[in-house]
Amino acid sequence: MGIKAALVTDSSTLTSFGKLIGLDVLQLSETYQKSDSSPSDAAASEFLRLLGFEGGKCLDVSLYASVFVHIDVDNVGMIDSLIGSIMKMAQPGSEIAPRLHLSLVLSYGSVTDEDASVFPVKTPHEGVNSAFAGLVPRQSYTM
47 contacts 31 by C-beta, under 8 angstroms: yes
Task: Compute the distance between CA of residue 17 and CA of residue 134 in angstroms, rounded to an integer.
Answer: 20
Mean predicted lDDT score pLDDT of the chain: 79
Tell me the pLDDT band of 139, cut-offs 50, 70 and 90: very low
pTM of the model: 0.70
